[in-house]
Amino acid sequence: MTIGLRQQQYLDAMGIQRWVRRDLHVDTSTVEEDESEPADILLLDWEALQAKVAGCTACDLHKTRTQTVFGVGNRNADWLVVGEAPGAEEDRQGKPFVGRAGQLLNAMLHAVGLQREQVFIANILKCRPPNNRDPRPEEVACCEPFLIRQVALLKPKIILAVGRIAAQNLLKTDTRIGALRGKRYTYGDTGIPVVVTYHPAYLLRSPKEKRKAWQDLLFACKILNEEKQ
């Protein structure tokens, strides 16, 4: 996987090298120039960042969106839940994880003693891809500084990567999600733990996998408790 020069500058500014385990190899031999995002994103507060996202035209997704989906929740939360991208209902409401998948996510959080309002929920992309297709690399590159800044402002104790797209983009890998589960990753040099689990939409289609998602949540809770000690 390649990484743009501008992306690397954002990561360097945050003290972030990669979202990877120590034994997970990432190829950084190819560097591409990318001047699509202004560096001032790294200096914005919550309100200014949300306004920046709302007016973003950095990629073609702005042409088909109803509205951006910035993220919702407690801006002092211990938990940051990161999903893939807005779907049709999210695009209409301007909120992540609504509809049946959102209801299941709420239930998953409730199972470990959390209300939706206690966590912060965001996506890799802030705009809906047409027909809910997978995000394209250039779209992820345009949105990545927004998520980096959200993490910097939030300072979560743990990041829960929900689904294949979120996990692979956060960890800069194309490893399948089944192989990413059950391991502790770290958000660059910040020390923030990252745990991977299945997307609620996938669990709705494959309910037998809910037990594995429950194991992932317990694993995340265990890590968080260790961090607090």
Please give the DSSP secondary-structure letter assigned to residue 209: G
Distance of alpha carbon 49 from alpha carbon 180, whole angstroms: 31
**How large a percentage of the chain has pLDDT more than 90?**
77
User: Phi-psi bin for 119: left (phi > 0), alpha (psi -120 to 50), beta?
Assistant: beta
In this predicted model, what pLDDT tens digit does every residue of 25-74 receive, in sequence order? Answer: 434 333 333 444 456 898 999 999 999 999 999 999 999 999 999 999 99
SS3 87: coil
In this predicted model, what pLDDT tens digit does every residue of 77-94 receive, in sequence order? Answer: 999 999 999 999 999 999
Q: What angle do CA 75, 93, 116 make, to 5 degrees?
A: 40
CATH topology of domain 3-228: Uracil-DNA Glycosylase, subunit E (3.40.470)
What is the reported pTM?
0.83
Distance of alpha carbon 114 from alpha carbon 217, whole angstroms: 11
Give me the residue spans of the domains in the chain: 3-228
* pLDDT beyond 80 at 139: yes
Name the residue among 216, 159, 181, 163 with its Cα closest to residue 16.
Answer: 159
Residue 35 CB coordination number (10 Å): 9
In this predicted model, what pLDDT tens digit does every residue of 167-198 receive, in sequence order? Answer: 999 999 999 999 999 999 987 777 899 999 99
Distance of alpha carbon 180 from alpha carbon 154, whole angstroms: 24
Tell me the one-letter amino acid at 106. Answer: N
Task: Provide the Cα torsion 170, 174, 176, 177; round to 10°.
Answer: 0
Q: Which residues in 61-89 are b (16+ Cβ under 10 Å) and which e?
A: beeebebbbbbbbeeebbbbbbbbbbbee
Distance of alpha carbon 186 from alpha carbon 70, whole angstroms: 23
Cβ neighbourhood burial of 94 (10 Å; 0-12, 13-18, 19+):
middle
